[in-house]
C-alpha cells in the first residue's frame, strides 16, 4: 500500500499487508516490538527505564517504510540497553494512520514515524519537509535540512504543535505512474482521470486532467474498468509487487511530483526534552541512521525490480515528453510558491527552500546530475 | 588540505590546517576530544567504562572530514554516557595519516576515520568501498553497500586484516579540476601535467597526460611556475578556500575519477566483538548518522561556494567535452575492471560492484538522474 493512500483515510489491502484497525491496547502482548531485550510486561529493573509508543502511518512491516519504523524502534531500544524501550504500533493498531500527529501532540503516543506531506491540513508548508513537486533530490534536501536552515524552520513549525521532528527515511525520486494510453504531449493530460494525491493532484488538475484519490485496494479495479486512466504509486520496488504492469501498458518516469519522498519521525517535545542527553542523542542518531539505510533499500529495490519489469515482463519505461515536463514543473513550482501566501512562517519556509533549491539547480550539472549524464553518454 | 594528498605521505599546509606531526601521547591533556561528559584524566566510575583512541587521516577539524570524525567520536562518547569514550587524534598526533590502517590492526588505536582509497597497497580492491573512476553516486553506492552485498564483501576484505569497516561520510561527486588551458578535446590531455592521485592518475596517463602527485602545500607554486598545468582537489567548498581561482582560469566538472568520495570508519575487530551489543550498535549508528550528515555539509558547502566563485570571482565552470568524457570513462572503467585479475576475492568484489552499477545506470534516467535533467529543462 502506498503511503499516500492514507491521505484518503482508507485502510486498503495491498502488497499483502492490511492496515485494519486492530483496537489494540498499548499493553497488549499481541504487539511485538521485535526487540528481545526489554519485554514489555516485565517490571523495569532500572528505575529510570521508560517505555515509549511509536505510532506510524504504515502497515506493520510494510517494505521500506514499516520495516524502517521497526528498525528505528529496535535501535533506540537496543542502543539504550532497554532504558528507553520503543514499542511500534502499525497504522490502526493504536490510532488510525492520520491521527498520528495529534496522538503524539496529546501524549497518546510519545513518537511517530510518518511523512510530512500528510500534515498539510495542520500547516500548508508541512510538505516542504518531505517533498514537493519540482523540488529537490534527497541529497539536496538533506543539505537544506542539516546545513541550509531547514531543520530550524522545521523545528519552529512542528514546535508550534509541541513536536520535535527528525528526518527518518526516504524513498528517493518517485515514478510518474502507469498509463492506459501513451502520453505524446501535454494535450494527453486533458480529460485524463489519474489517481494521484496531494500537491501532485493539483498539478494534474492544472494540466487539464482530473486527479482522483483512491485507496490502494480500489486502484486495480478502477484501472481495469476505466474509472481511471492512470495511476502513480512509488517506483519499481513497490509497483512490481502491486502488479500494475498486468493492467497498464505505459510506465513513465521520473515523476514531477515527489522528487524526494522524505520520511520523518517526530517526538512529543516535552517528552523529548525530559530525556537525558544520551537518550536524546540515541533517538536522533537512530533516525539519522535510518535515513540513509532506507534510501539504500529503496535504491537497491528499485534497481532490481526495474530489471524484472523490463526483462521478465516486457515493460517499456518512457520519459515524459518535453512539453509535459515543462508544463508540469511550472505548475508544480507554482503550487509550491503559492504556499508562501499562507503567513509569515510559510513565507520564510518557502524563501529558504527556494533559495537553496536555486543553488542546487545551478550546482547539479557539475555534481551528481552531470556525473550521471556523463556516465550515460559514456555507456551509450 | 585534500584528503588524497596524504597518499603522498606529505604534511602540507592548506586551508589554515596544519597536519604536522605533534608527537602527542595518547594521554596528553592537549588533546581535547570535544566531549564534556567523560574527562580523559578522571578515573572511570563505572567499572565497565572504556576509552578508545580514534586515529584519522585528516588534520584536526578539517572542514567536513576532520569535523566529521570529531562528531563520530563525540556521538559515541555521549550516546554511551561515557561508558565508551572516544578520543580523536588528528593525522600525525598518534600515528602518521597513512599508518592508521596498521595502527588499528596492531591495537595502537581501536578505531580510525579514513577513506578506503588509501589502502590500495593493502588490497587493490579497497577503493571500491570508497570510490572508483566511472563508478556510482553516493546514493547508488549506499544501495550496494547496505542492500546489494557490498557490506559483506567489505567485511570479508577488511576482516582479513582484523578490521570491521563502516561507511562514515561522503564528499559527493568531485570536480574535474582547475586547468591553465582550455580543454577543447581529448587531444588537450596529451602532454598535460596534472596533479591527480590514485586510480584517477592512471586515467590521465592513459589519456596521454602525465599525472603527478603533489602535497597540498606544493600545488599553488607548481601551478604558478608551470611545473603542472592542472590540478584537481575536491569541489567548490574546499577549492574556494584553497584559492585556485586566483591562478587557474578554467574550472571543469564534474570529474570522472571520484563520483562518490566515500569516507569510512574501521574498528579493531577483536575490540569491536568484545563490546556489549548496545555499544556495538552505538558505534555503528554514529557512523551511519555521520554518513548523511557529512554529505549534507559538502552539498550545502559546494552550493554556496560555487555561487561565490561564479558571482564574486567571475569563475566560469565548464563541462568536459564529450570526447573527453567518453575516453575518460572508458579508461576509468578499464582501470576498475583490471582489479578483478588480482585474485578470487577481488573478482567477486568487482563482479558484485559491476552488476549493481549496471542496474544503477539503467535506473538513473528514471530516477535522480532523470529528475535533475527534467528540472534543468524546465528551469532553462
3-state secondary structure chain A: CCHHHHHHCCCCEECCEECCCCCCCCCCCCCCCCCCCCCCCCCCCCCCCEEEEEEECCCCCCCCCHHHHHHHHHHHHHHCCCCEEEEEECCCCCCCHHHHHHHHHCCCCCEEEECHHHHCCCCCCHHHHCCCCCCCCHHHHHHHHHHCCHHHHHHHHHHCCCEEEEEEEECCCCCCEEECCCCCCHHHHCCCEEECCHHHHHHHHHCCCEEECCCHHHHHHHHHHCCCCEECCCCHHHHHHHCHHHCCCEEECCCCCCCCCEEEEEEEHHHHHCCCHHHHHHHHHHHHHHHHHHHHHHHHHHHHHHHHHHHHHCCEEECCCHHHHHHHHHHHHHHHHHHHHHCHHHHHHHHHHHHHHHHHHHHHHHCHHHHHHHHHHHHC
What pTM was computed for the model? 0.88
Cell of B276: 556489549
Q: What is the pLDDT of residue B299?
A: 97
**Nearest chain B alpha carbon to A361:** B376
Smallest CA–CA distance, residue B331 to chain A, in Å, is: 11
The answer for residues whose C-beta is within 8 angstroms of residue A355's C-beta and 6 or more apart is none
The length of chain A, given as a count of residues: 380
- What is the rounded distance in angstroms from the CA atom of residue B332 to the CA atom of residue B344? 22
Q: What is the pLDDT of residue B60?
A: 83
CA distances from A373 to A80, A378, B368 (A): 44, 9, 11
Residues in chain A with pLDDT values less than 70: 1-47, 215
The answer for residues whose C-beta is within 8 angstroms of residue A380's C-beta and 6 or more apart is none
Cis peptide before B254 (omega within 30 of 0): yes
- What is the rounded distance in angstroms from the CA atom of residue B265 to the CA atom of residue B64? 14
Q: Is B10 on the interface with A (CB under 8 A)?
A: no
Q: What is the pLDDT of residue B42?
A: 40
Q: What is the pLDDT of residue B41?
A: 39
Mean pLDDT by 10 residues, chain B (380 residues): 30 27 25 33 57 94 92 98 97 95 98 95 96 97 98 98 98 97 98 93 97 83 95 93 93 96 97 98 98 98 97 97 98 97 98 98 98 95
Cell of A268: 512529543
Is A257 within 8 Å of A174 (Cβ atoms)?
Answer: yes
Smallest CA–CA distance, residue A372 to chain B, in Å, is: 6
Q: What is the pLDDT of residue A106?
A: 97
Q: For chain B, list the domains and their CATH numbers.
A: 50-172+259-301 (3.40.190.170)
Q: What is the pLDDT of residue B213?
A: 83
Q: How many CB atoms lie within 10 A of CB A15?
A: 16
Q: Is B276 on the interface with A (CB under 8 A)?
A: yes
Q: What is the ipTM of this complex?
A: 0.88
Q: Which of A74, A79, A85, A321 should be substituted to probe chain B, the one whose Cβ sees the most B Cβ atoms within 10 Å? A: A79
Report strand pairing: A50-56 vs A111-114. Answer: parallel
The answer for residues whose C-beta is within 8 angstroms of residue A259's C-beta and 6 or more apart is A131, A133, A134, A135, A136, A137, A173, A174, B371, B375
Exposed e or buried b per residue across A302-320, where buried means at least 16 C-beta atoms within 10 angstroms of its C-beta: bbbbbbebbeeeebebebb
Is A230 within 8 Å of A248 (Cβ atoms)?
Answer: yes
Exposed e or buried b per residue across B125-159, where buried means at least 16 C-beta atoms within 10 angstroms of its C-beta: bbbbbbbbbbbbbbbbbbbbbbbbbbbebbeebbe
Cell of A278: 544520551
A173 vs B75, B289, B371: nearest CB: B371
Q: Is B174 on the interface with A (CB under 8 A)?
A: no
Smallest CA–CA distance, residue B249 to chain A, in Å, is: 17
Q: Is A250 on the interface with B (CB under 8 A)?
A: no
Is B11 within 8 Å of B215 (Cβ atoms)?
Answer: yes
CB-CB under 8 Å, B139 with A301: no
Amino acid at each position: 500500500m502506498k503511503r499516500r493512500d492514507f491521505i484518503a483515510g482508507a485502510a486498503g489491502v495491498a502488497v499483502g499487508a492490511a492496515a485494519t484497525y486492530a483496537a489494540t491496547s498499548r499493553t497488549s502482548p499481541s504487539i511485538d516490538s521485535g526487540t528481545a531485550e526489554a519485554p514489555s510486561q516485565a517490571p523495569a529493573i532500572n528505575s529510570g527505564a521508560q517505555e515509549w509508543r511509536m505510532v506510524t502511518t504504515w502497515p506493520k512491516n510494510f517494505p521500506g517504510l514499516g520495516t524502517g519504523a521497526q528498525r528505528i524502534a529496535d535501535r533506540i531500544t537496543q542502543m539504550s540497553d532497554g532504558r528507553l524501550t520503543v514499542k511500534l504500533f502499525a497504522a490502526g493498531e493504536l490510532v488510525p494512520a492520520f491521527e498520528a500527529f495529534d496522538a503524539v501532540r496529546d501524549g497518546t503516543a510519545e513518537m511517530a514515524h510518518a511523512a510530512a506531506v500528510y500534515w498539510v491540513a495542520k500547516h500548508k508548508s508541512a510538505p516542504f519537509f518531505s517533498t514537493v513537486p519540482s523540488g529537490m533530490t534527497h541529497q539536496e534536501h538533506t543539505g537544506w535540512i542539516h546545513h541550509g536552515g531547514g531543520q530550524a524552520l522545521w523545528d519552529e513549525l512542528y514546535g508550534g504543535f509541541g513536536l520535535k521532528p527528525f528526518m527518518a527515511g526516504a524513498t528517493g525520486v518517485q515514478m510518474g505512474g502507469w498509463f492506459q494510453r501513451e502520453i505524446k504531449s501535454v494535450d494527453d493530460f486533458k480529460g485524463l482521470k489519474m489517481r494521484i494525491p496531494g500537491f501532485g493532484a493539483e498539478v494534474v488538475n492544472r494540466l487539464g486532467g482530473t486527479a482522483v484519490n483512491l485507496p490502494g485496494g480500489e486502484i486495480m479495479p478502477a484501472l481495469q474498468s476505466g474509472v481511471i486512466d492512470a495511476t502513480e504509486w512509488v517506483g519499481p520496488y513497490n509497483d512490481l509487487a502491486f502488479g500494475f504492469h498486468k493492467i497498464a501498458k505505459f510506465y513513465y518516469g521520473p515523476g514531477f511530483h515527489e522528487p524526494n519522498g522524505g520520511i520523518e519521525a517526530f517526538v512529543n517535545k516535552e517528552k523529548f526534552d525530559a530525556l537525558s542527553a544520551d537518550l536524546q542523542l540515541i533517538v536522533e542518531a537512530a533516525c539519522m541512521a535510518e535515513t540513509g539505510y532506507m534510501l539504500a533499500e529503496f535504491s537497491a529495490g528499485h534497481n532490481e525490480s526495474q530489471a524484472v519489469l523490463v526483462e521478465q515482463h516486457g515493460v517499456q519505461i518512457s520519459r515524459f515528453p518535453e512539453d509535459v515536463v515543462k508544463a508540469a514543473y511550472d505548475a508544480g513550482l507554482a503550487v509550491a510558491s503559492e504556499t508562501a501566501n499562507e503567513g509569515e512562517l510559510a513565507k520564510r519556509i518557502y524563501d529558504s527552500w527556494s533559495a537553496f533549491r536555486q543553488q542546487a539547480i545551478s550546482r547539479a550539472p557539475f555534481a551528481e546530475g552531470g556525473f550521471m549524464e556523463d556516465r550515460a553518454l559514456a555507456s551509450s
